[in-house]
């Protein structure tokens, strides 16, 4: 019998959470892709719509890809599929029913062809190329999530997916402890485990725990009850539906992505709505306020979301009144705090009673806290461990937990995005990196916005621009018409007009000094920059255009 | 004896925290200004350096201003003085010694003339126009802060300033409970009280409480210890100096504002440094790592700060090594979370041991929590109450606390910025508003950036701009030279070049269709916008420049 080959594991991503958006497992020149998700840009990534993993390595080796597994239906695990699947002809995509439904909705929104889906369920064992993959259920803030046991001749890899150990999940589906124990007994070469909450001591509360806050809000509500949460948080919607029904209120869902997901989850049987409870957005106008519960997007203060429009009085359909109750059932994602604060202040200004995370238990995390992470380590007892799904500091902290439960430091690998971990049954080591830059998606462009473009946008965002166009005679260098100026984002009011007239005058003088186009251009650029800075202390982007006629 | 006149109280500000940056008290056509501070812009206020209160009302009535009181030395209470004082000829400025010192440093940095200072101390009673002002000590995260008892014929106003009830402050100066009780007995018409922490139950811990975290960090440190905090947090610096001295380490201060403040506080006797403990930045190169403690700025992840440069490896003087300990002794201000997270991740990547707010008690607030706010209300027992110094939701929550301690709802006024509260000994009511917009400072410009300019910057930040210049014959409309294009922040790579060539070609065709300058211009604008959108799905700012020759 020949020696088993090496396994290679590569967490991808490049921004923020490492390995969260995509992980590659390679054996015998075959690649298994786990998840293909997106990240939202940070505040200083101007004009960028989303970030996706750098797929150049995958696309260079596309003929080796034997399958794509989607562990659950959240955007940070599915959102890059529209950018990946069109390049992978006929490669099967493995997902549970709800996850598949959510991916189908997303692909439709992107007008991307549906792939070769293979619907799986927890408990299934499938051969995907050289990998035998067994799916086991994990609880998370969305139903139907799975973790993976990936068997290869070189050993067994366990990938937890996003998980928590919820003992009373809303959908009744617990993380499969027995399977984890079995895997531990079988002998696991490598554990890849969710590090998101490595900063949080203790246990993450059950999703059920927020029922009491919702109950309290519904009990005290005089007017409408409006619950804002993530569009994909089907378990949260289920809880709102249950409580609304108990309090004799009708439920309406607002916001396109929310409506699509809720409809699909209902059709697939993941969301159970008593007959007659769900009503359309138009019907709520005919119901008394105390019979209405609304579920909507906007929990992150997204400027165009339903909740934010209600808070600022811009919503055509819903005008908030004193007496209405708003529950923001989420915690702000880092970077969104200002937007959420602004929304909460506006809701208070409208006289609404607001349940939000500073004051109430309106949200529980979907991720394992430290004690659960230790439990996972102790159930699996892996030979090697690589914390994944977290920012760099979370991986370091998760690694420390592993040391605490007895794993020797040299068997723990803190990988950065693109790092290649090479393993066989005896040893593991870093074996280089694949190119792994962050890829920005802006409009239809994928990757045509880079750091240089962002830097230009940053300069423009600070002080705007100033373009000076001058037409000169190509032979004599004579200025043929007064310079024309266009400026945006620089300044605005009477003084600014005086400034612009001053600039025009300067430009006229500078151009009249003659020379060829290049000479005039560089003279204009330098002198106008210092003129503007002297006048108003700003440095707009200045670009002369010398037209030779 | 004639009837006393009405008192008027006007909280100013306009952004975020109401009344925090400036409050006006008016009686008998005289105006007392309390504080003149700045706010930092939110992430979507592009290119704005700082925000200051709209001073148009004050400047219209400048001859009525009889004094400016600065309650303490933090920037959100002092930072607008360079924009106010030059307009107020010879008006006295009242401040305690440390506050005065910090203001002097700030005015020097702004090259603003020093005003007519009047140094006061807690316990002083001064007549300022028709106001008899008594200063009482309050504890806060900076020494030498005061609250105000303002006596007028119409009644007594108590303004808490920023306060907490620290029973063991680092500087030994407690909030003057006895004075507060005396004032309560005397009878207070109106209480203006700090609402910042109205969301926080219980008591704010003493500043001393973080000593144990600092101690733990110093105990465990092998290499250098680096503490990042606010430049004005003299009490925190004092704690670091004390602990460093105990652990036989030399202290060096890094960062211009930090150095200036520390030097001044030492000179004035507010910072006590044992002989030989403080060393210059150049001397630390000659000391072993385990003898060094550094205090620096960067606790908010500010991109140009000392800590951030160390974390990203850009600092010329200090290269972080594994074994160094970094304490980020602050909580991220909302909006700064991403920058702080990035800094922490980079510190972990360099192998530093990092003490930060998610894991350790590295910071305590300088503001009263709910029980302290109630204590203030119960000591003062005012006839009327206006919560100030907080975002709108904080004021509402503070008002609820006042109701809980027995103040009737109709005696509580939730003021927004610019609201005029009119009072006499019998009644209080809202009496209109003064114009109170937010004023942006950008470079040398104060107020010449408005929402329209910000909207232009927002558009530019998203997709950049495209300017097309075409020279045409003024008589024939004939295009005299091929269109010239300049673009920034739109796209960058081979495809972008193809795009720009396509745009040039389009522009040439469109211009050749003739017409006058306005016709060509509007045709270019519309058609190029849809051309670009079709090509790359983006909407840059497009501006044609038609030069008629």
Please give the full DSSP string across A400-425, using - where no structure is assigned. HHHHHTT--GGGB--PPTTEEEEE-S
Q: Do B537 and A445 touch (CB under 8 A)?
A: yes
Helix (H) or strand (E) holding B56: helix B56-60
The answer to whether residues B142 and B134 touch, using CB atoms and an 8 Å cutoff, is no
The answer to whether residues B324 and B313 touch, using CB atoms and an 8 Å cutoff, is no
Candidates A300, A444, A471: best to mutate against B (most CBs of B within 10 A) is A471
**pLDDT tens readout for residues B395-433:** 999 999 999 999 999 999 999 999 999 999 889 999 999
Q: Which two tokens stand for residue A38?
A: 């997106």
Q: Do B484 and A545 touch (CB under 8 A)?
A: yes
What pLDDT shows up at residue B19?
A: 86
CA distance A394 to A399: 8
Write down the residue that tokens 């690998």 correspond to.
Answer: A413
Active site residues of B: 194, 367
Bridge partner list, B60 = none
Candidates B13, B455, B488, B535: best to mutate against A (most CBs of A within 10 A) is B488
Residue of A nearest to B474 (CA): A481
Among the partner-chain residues B397, B461, B535, the one whose CB lies closest to the CB of A47 is B461
Three-class SS state of A517:
helix
- The confidence band for A2, taking pLDDT boundaries of 50, 70 and 90, is low
Candidates B15, B111, B345, B357: best to mutate against A (most CBs of A within 10 A) is B345
Bridge partner list, A442 = A445
CA distance B468 to B547: 11
Secondary structure (H, E, C), B177-243: HHHHHHHHHHCCCEEEEECCCCCCCCCCCCHHHHHHHHHHHHHHCCCCEEEECCCCCHHHHHHHHHH
What pLDDT shows up at residue B15?
A: 64
Residue of A nearest to B343 (CA): A393
Q: Residues 6 or more apart from B380 whose CB is under 8 A from it?
A: B158, B180, B183, B184, B188, B191, B193
**pLDDT tens readout for residues A183-218:** 999 999 999 999 999 999 999 999 999 999 999 999
What pLDDT shows up at residue A74?
A: 93
What proportion of chain B, given as a percentage, has pLDDT over 90? Answer: 79
Phi/psi-derived region of residue A248, left when phi > 0, alpha when psi is between -120 and 50, beta in every other case:
left
Among the partner-chain residues A44, A463, A469, the one whose CB lies closest to the CB of B47 is A463
**pLDDT tens readout for residues A275-330:** 999 999 889 989 999 999 999 999 999 988 999 999 998 887 788 999 999 999 99
Q: What is the mean pLDDT of residues A154-165?
A: 97
Asked if A272 is an active-site residue, the reply is no
What pLDDT shows up at residue A318?
A: 87
Helix (H) or strand (E) holding A78: helix A75-78
What pLDDT shows up at residue A15?
A: 64
- The confidence band for B493, taking pLDDT boundaries of 50, 70 and 90, is low
Write down the residue that tokens 């006058």 correspond to.
Answer: B516
Q: Is the pLDDT of residue B518 over 70?
A: yes
Burial degree of A268 (CB within 10 A; 0-12, 13-18, 19+): middle
Provide the residue count of chain A: 549
CA distance A40 to A339: 15
Q: Do B489 and A460 touch (CB under 8 A)?
A: yes
Parallel/antiparallel/unpaired status of strands B419-423 and A92-95: unpaired
Q: Do B545 and A467 touch (CB under 8 A)?
A: yes
Q: Which two tokens stand for residue B121?
A: 């101390």
Q: Do B345 and A545 touch (CB under 8 A)?
A: no
In 3D space, the residue among A53, A39, A96 whose CA is nearest the CA of residue A72 turns out to be A96
Three-class SS state of B246:
helix
Q: Is the pLDDT of residue B143 over 90?
A: yes
Among the partner-chain residues B47, B341, B464, the one whose CB lies closest to the CB of A334 is B341
Question: With a threshold of 0.90, does the pTM exceed it?
Answer: yes
Residues in chain B with CB shorter than 8 Å from the CB of A453 are 464, 489-492
Nearest C-alpha of chain B: how many angstroms from A110?
Answer: 13
The answer to whether residues B300 and B336 touch, using CB atoms and an 8 Å cutoff, is yes
What pLDDT shows up at residue B20?
A: 87
Q: Which two tokens stand for residue A315?
A: 């919503």
> From start to end of B290-437, where are the E strands?
292-296, 325-328, 353-355, 384-388, 419-423, 428-433
In 3D space, the residue among A389, A334, A104, A181 whose CA is nearest the CA of residue B334 turns out to be A334
Nearest C-alpha of chain B: how many angstroms from A388?
Answer: 14
Nearest C-alpha of chain B: how many angstroms from A344?
Answer: 7
CA distance B103 to B432: 33
What pLDDT shows up at residue A219?
A: 95
Residues in chain A with CB shorter than 8 Å from the CB of B365 are none
Query: Which DSSP letter does residue A42 get?
Result: P
Sign of CA dihedral B150, B151, B152, B156: positive
Q: Do B484 and A42 touch (CB under 8 A)?
A: no
Q: What is the mean pLDDT of residues A16-20?
A: 84
Q: What is the mean pLDDT of residues A24-39?
A: 96
Residues in chain B with CB shorter than 8 Å from the CB of A471 are 471, 480-481, 547, 549
Residues in chain A with CB shorter than 8 Å from the CB of B493 are 447-448, 450
CA distance B374 to B362: 26
All domains in chain B, ordered by first residue:
7-202+365-443 (3.60.15.10), 207-355 (3.40.50.10710), 451-548 (3.10.20.580)
| DSSP one-letter string for A207-223 | GGGGHHHHHHHHHH-SS
Q: Do B491 and A547 touch (CB under 8 A)?
A: no
What pLDDT shows up at residue A14?
A: 59
Among the partner-chain residues B348, B537, B543, the one whose CB lies closest to the CB of A444 is B537
Catalytic member of A72, A77, A367, A398: A367
Catalytic member of A166, A171, A194, A242: A194
CA distance B12 to A256: 40
The ipTM (two decimal places) reads 0.90
Residue of B nearest to A393 (CA): B345
What pLDDT shows up at residue A371?
A: 98
């Amino acid at each position: 019998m020949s020696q088993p080959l090496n396994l290679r594991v590569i967490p991808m991503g490049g921004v923020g959470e490492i390995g969260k958006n995509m992980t590659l497992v390679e054996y015998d020149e075959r690649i298994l892709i786990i998840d293909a998700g997106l990240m939202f840009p940070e505040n200083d990534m101007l004009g960028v719509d989303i970030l996706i993993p750098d797929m150049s390595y995958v696309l260079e080796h596309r003929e080796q890809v034997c399958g794509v597994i989607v562990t659950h239906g959240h955007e940070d695990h599915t959102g890059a599929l529209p950018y990946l699947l069109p390049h992978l002809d006929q490669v099967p995509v493995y997902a549970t029913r709800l996850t598949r439904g959510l991916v189908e909705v997303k692909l439709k929104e992107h007008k991307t062809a549906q792939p070769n889906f293979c619907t799986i369920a927890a408990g299934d064992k499938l051969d995907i190329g050289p990998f035998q993959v067994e799916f086991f259920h994990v609880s998370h803030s969305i139903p139907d999530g799975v973790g993976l046991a990936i068997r290869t001749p070189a050993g067994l890899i366990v990938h937890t997916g996003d998980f928590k150990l919820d003992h009373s999940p809303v959908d009744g589906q617990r993380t499969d402890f027995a399977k984890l124990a079995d895997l531990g007994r079988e002998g696991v070469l490598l554990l890849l485990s969710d590090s998101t909450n490595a900063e949080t001591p203790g246990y993450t509360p059950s999703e059920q725990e927020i029922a009491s806050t919702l109950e309290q809000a519904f009990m005290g509500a005089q007017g409408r009850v409006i619950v804002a949460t993530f569009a994909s948080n089907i378990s949260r919607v289920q809880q709102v539906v249950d409580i609304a029904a108990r309090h004799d209120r009708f439920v309406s869902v607002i916001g396109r992505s929310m409506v699509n997901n809720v409809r699909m989850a209902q059709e697939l049987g993941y969301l159970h709505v008593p007959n007659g409870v769900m009503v359309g957005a138009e019907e709520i106008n005919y119901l008394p306020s105390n019979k209405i519960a609304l579920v909507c997007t906007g929990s992150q203060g997204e400027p165009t979301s339903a909740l934010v429009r209600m808070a600022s009085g811009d919503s055509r359909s819903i005008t908030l009144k004193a007496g209405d109750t708003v529950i923001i059932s989420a915690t702000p994602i880092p970077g969104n705090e200002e937007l959420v604060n602004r929304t909460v202040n506006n809701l208070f200004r409208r006289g609404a009673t607001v349940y939000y995370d500073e004051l109430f238990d309106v949200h529980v995390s979907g991720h394992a806290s430290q004690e659960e992470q230790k439990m996972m380590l102790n159930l699996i007892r892996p030979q090697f461990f690589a914390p994944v799904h977290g920012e760099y500091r979370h991986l370091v902290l998760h690694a420390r937990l592993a040391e605490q439960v007895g794993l020797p430091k040299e068997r723990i690998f803190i990988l950065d995005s693109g790092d290649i971990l090479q393993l066989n049954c005896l040893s593991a080591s870093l074996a280089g990196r694949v190119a792994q830059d962050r890829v920005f998606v802006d409009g239809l462009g994928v990757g045509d916005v880079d750091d240089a473009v962002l830097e230009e946008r940053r300069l423009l965002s600070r002080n705007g621009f100033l373009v000076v166009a001058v037409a000169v005679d190509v032979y004599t260098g004579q200025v043929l018409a007064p310079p024309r100026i266009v400026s945006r984002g620089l300044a605005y009011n009477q003084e600014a007009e005086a400034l612009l007239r001053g600039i025009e005058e300067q430009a006229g003088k500078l151009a009249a000094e003659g020379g060829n186009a290049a000479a005039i251009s560089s003279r204009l650029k330098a002198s106008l920059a210092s003129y503007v800075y002297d006048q108003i202390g700003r440095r707009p982007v200045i670009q002369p255009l010398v037209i030779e006629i």
